[in-house]
C-alpha cells in the first residue's frame, strides 16, 4: 500500500475513533448570568430577558472559544426561526429586541458550525424570559349598593375586570384615590385568591368595609389604580351609587 494513503487512513482513524477533534465552546458574559451546558448533547442553554436589546446597544450573549476563525463560523437556525445577530471578535451579539408576548419570539435553537471538519459544532437554546413590562388594563361599570347592608367579597355586586398580557396578576398593587377618603371605605379581593403567574385575566371584587348610609352620601366617585411589578400603572374611574333600602313596614302596608 502506498505510504501516503496509509498515513491518510491513520489520520482519519485517529480523528474519528480516538476523538482527537477539538470542540467549539462558549463562555457566558456578565450581561447574562444564566448559561448552562449539557455535556451529553453538547448544548448550551441561555436565558435572556425580553426587551433588553436595541439596535444601538446590542447585547453580547457569549464568547466563542477554541475556534480557529470565528468569521468563518456558520450559524444554523432550527425550525426556520432566526433572529438578527453579529459576531465581532468571537463575541456573539443579539442585535434585535425580543418580545415574549409574541409566541415566535419566546425560544430559539441554533447550531454553531465550523468549516474545519475537526472542530465539533455546539447547539444553543436561547429562551426569552417574560418580564412585567406591559401595563395592566382595568374595566368597571357603575356599581349599586343598598344602604345599611353589610357586603363582603361573596355578595358584592361590584366587579373590576383586570387583564395584563404579562400575567403576574397576583402582584398587582391596587390603590384608591378620592376626595372623601374612599380608600378607608372600600377594599379589594382578587378572584380566585391564588393565581398562577401565567394567567392574564382575573376579577377583583370591590366591596365596602362597612355599611353605607345614603343619608351620608348618595354616591361616590373615585379613581382605582393598578400598578404591576414593572412600575406600569393603569387607572379607571369608579362610580358607586347607594340605593335606598325598601322599608319593610311600608311594603307590608302596601300589600294590605
In the chain the domains, ranked by start, together with CATH numbers, are: 21-129 (2.60.40.60), 137-246 (2.60.40.60)
Is the pLDDT assigned to residue 122 strictly greater than 80? yes
3-state helix, strand, coil in the chain (%, to 5): 15, 40, 45
What percentage of the chain carries pLDDT values higher than 70?
Answer: 80
pTM above 0.75, yes or no: no
Instruction: For residue 210, give the C-alpha cell.
Output: 362597612
Is the pLDDT assigned to residue 219 strictly greater than 80? yes
Ramachandran angles phi, psi of 206, nearest 5°: -105, 120
Which carries the bigger pLDDT value, residue 28 or residue 124?
124
The pLDDT confidence band at residue 25, using thresholds 50, 70 and 90, is low
Rounded-to-integer distance, Cα 87 and Cα 74, Å? 11
The pLDDT confidence band at residue 24, using thresholds 50, 70 and 90, is low
Torsion of CA 173, 179, 184, 189, to 10 degrees: -40
**In the chain, how many H helices and how many E strands?**
2, 19
Is the pLDDT assigned to residue 215 strictly greater than 80? yes
Of 154, 147, 163, nearest in space to 207 by CA: 154
Which class for 143: exposed (0-12), middle (13-18), buried (19 or more C-beta within 10 A)?
Answer: buried
- pLDDT at position 16: 47
Which class for 169: exposed (0-12), middle (13-18), buried (19 or more C-beta within 10 A)?
Answer: buried
- pLDDT at position 17: 44
- pLDDT at position 41: 84
Which carries the bigger pLDDT value, residue 139 or residue 57?
139
- pLDDT at position 21: 45
pLDDT in tens, 246-256: 765 554 444 44
Rounded-to-integer distance, Cα 64 and Cα 27, Å? 7
* Average confidence (pLDDT) over 40-62: 83
- Asked if 198 and 144 touch (Cβ cutoff 8 Å), the reply is no
Is the pLDDT assigned to residue 131 strictly greater than 90? no
Is the pLDDT assigned to residue 111 strictly greater than 50? yes
- pLDDT at position 253: 47
Highest-pLDDT range among 2-6, 39-43, 164-168: 164-168
- Asked if 109 and 77 touch (Cβ cutoff 8 Å), the reply is yes
Q: Any long-range contacts for 74-79 (C-beta under 8 Å, 24+ apart)?
A: 74/111, 74/112, 74/113, 74/114, 74/115, 75/110, 75/111, 75/112, 75/113, 76/110, 76/111, 76/113, 77/108, 77/109, 77/110, 78/108, 78/109, 78/110, 78/111, 79/109
Rounded-to-integer distance, Cα 189 and Cα 202, Å? 11
Amino acid at each position: 500500500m502506498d505510504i501516503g494513503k496509509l498515513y491518510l487512513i491513520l489520520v482519519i482513524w485517529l480523528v474519528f475513533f480516538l476523538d482527537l477533534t477539538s470542540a467549539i465552546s462558549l463562555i457566558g458574559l456578565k450581561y447574562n448570568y444564566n448559561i448552562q451546558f449539557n455535556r451529553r448533547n453538547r448544548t448550551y442553554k441561555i436565558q435572556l430577558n425580553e426587551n433588553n436589546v436595541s439596535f444601538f446597544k446590542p447585547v453580547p450573549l457569549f464568547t466563542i472559544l477554541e475556534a480557529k476563525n470565528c468569521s468563518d463560523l456558520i450559524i444554523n437556525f432550527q425550525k426556520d426561526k432566526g433572529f438578527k445577530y453579529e459576531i465581532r471578535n468571537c463575541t456573539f451579539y443579539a442585535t434585535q429586541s425580543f418580545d415574549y408576548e409574541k409566541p415566535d419570539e419566546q425560544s430559539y435553537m441554533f447550531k454553531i458550525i465550523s468549516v474545519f471538519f475537526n472542530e465539533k459544532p455546539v447547539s444553543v437554546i436561547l429562551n426569552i424570559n417574560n418580564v412585567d413590562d406591559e401595563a395592566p388594563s382595568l374595566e368597571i361599570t357603575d356599581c349599586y349598593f343598598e344602604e345599611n347592608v353589610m357586603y363582603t367579597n361573596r355578595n358584592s355586586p361590584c366587579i373590576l375586570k383586570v387583564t395584563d398580557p404579562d400575567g403576574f396578576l397576583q402582584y398587582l398593587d391596587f390603590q384608591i384615590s378620592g376626595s372623601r377618603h374612599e380608600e378607608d371605605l372600600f377594599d379589594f379581593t382578587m378572584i380566585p385568591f391564588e393565581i398562577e403567574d401565567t394567567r392574564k385575566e382575573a376579577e377583583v371584587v370591590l366591596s365596602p368595609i362597612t355599611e353605607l348610609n345614603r343619608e351620608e352620601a348618595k354616591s361616590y366617585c373615585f379613581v382605582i389604580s393598578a400598578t404591576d411589578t414593572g412600575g406600569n400603572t393603569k387607572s379607571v374611574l369608579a362610580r358607586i351609587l347607594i340605593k335606598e333600602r325598601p322599608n319593610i313596614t311600608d311594603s307590608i302596608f302596601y300589600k294590605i
